[in-house]
Amino acid sequence: MTPFWGEVIGTMILIVLGLGISAGSLLKRTYAYNAGWITTAIAWGLAVTMGVLAVGNISEAHLNPALTIAFAINGTFPWSDVPIYLAGQMLGAFLGAILVFLHYLPHWKETEDPITKLAVFSTIPAIRHTFSNLLNEILATFMFVLGLFIIGSQGVDPIREGLLVIVIVISLGGTTGALNPARDLGPRIAHFLLPIPGKGDSDWGYAWIPIIGPLLGGALGSVIYKGVFLGHISSWFWIVLGANIFVLLLAYVIGKKSSRDIDLRKGDIEPSKSAS
């Protein structure tokens, strides 16, 4: 099996098991309905563990564009292989979302709220605030990638990576909770294309945040690890640091001018709907 198909299969496993708990917890008339935030966090951590176990010896099981780019910036992964890995991750996430849709097929009609249906597939911020949402994604992914480099797993230790995901989701995932651009974008595309009964908008206006935020945060984790822990500050350090500052400032300006910095509906969104 090639690394491309390893990333496809590993990411598909991750999404099937991760979105599976989101669907079970959110869709009506499932036995897992309202399973809760801790259950969701543990399930996502175990989903990562299973994905890494499945293909770790084939593709090193990145399963996440933010990790692939972080490893490339760090110098431990060739830039020439980045497009192949990103394509595999996106395809795997898309296919995984389709399988979850089919698995819970009768339950879509039983669930009236279109936002709940979108939340099965993609992340929804607990409070819509452009600057804060982007900062949340950057910080959470920064901690995730920095943690991976510190523990030395490099994305191939399934137990440690799964535990790290659990603690990140519990501690920092209650605001936005993506950590993985493929995890959000692939299923969001599936939501847009699938014939889901009563579905609403796919919220493309928000979709850039769980893409750009994890990429910036992952890159920042990579250069901080290399600069602070290894004492090697390259040009990448300043490029990534500057990109993070620039995009955060831009998000602040956009947020100040945007009427979309409000919740999708009045009242709080249930915490499980922002699940990682």
Kindly state the average pLDDT of the residues 257-266: 57
pLDDT tens for each residue of 64-93: 999 999 999 999 999 999 999 999 999 999
What would the two tokens of residue 261 be? 């910095």
Q: What is the DSSP letter of 273?
A: G
Average pLDDT over residues 203-229: 95
- For residue 156, the model assigns a pLDDT of 63
Averaged pLDDT of the chain: 91
Q: Tokens at residue 198, please? A: 């009563």
Residue 263 — very low, low, confident or very high, per pLDDT cuts 50/70/90?
Answer: low
Global confidence as pTM: 0.91
Residue 262 has pLDDT above 80, yes or no: no
The answer to whether residues 184 and 65 touch, using CB atoms and an 8 Å cutoff, is no
pLDDT digits (tens, 9 = 90+) for 132-183: 999 999 999 999 999 999 887 554 688 889 999 999 999 999 999 889 999 9
Which of 4, 213, 16, 197 lies closest to 107, judged by CA? Answer: 197
Q: Tell me the average pLDDT across 242-251.
A: 95
Question: Terminal CA-to-CA distance of the chain, rounded, Å?
Answer: 29
* pLDDT over 60 (residue 265): no
* 3-262 to CATH, choices 3.40.250.10, 1.10.8.190, 1.20.1080.10, 3.30.43.10: 1.20.1080.10
What is the pLDDT, as a whole number, of residue 267? 40
Of the pLDDT bands very low, low, confident and very high (cuts 50, 70, 90), residue 271 is very low
Instruction: Read off the tokens for 147.
Output: 């943690």
CB atoms within 10 A of CB 58: 16
Across the range 199-214, mean pLDDT stands at 95
Which tens digits make up the pLDDT trace of 35-65? 999 999 999 999 999 999 999 999 999 999 9
DSSP line for 184-235: HHHHHHHHHHS--TT-----TTTTTHHHHHHHHHHHHHHHHIIIIIS----H
What is the arithmetic mean of pLDDT over 239-264?
83
pLDDT at 190 exceeding the cut of 90: yes
CA distance 214 to 220: 10
CA distances for 103 relative to 9, 19, 26, 38, 112, angstroms: 18, 11, 14, 23, 18
| Distance separating alpha carbons of residues 6 and 44, to the nearest angstrom | 19
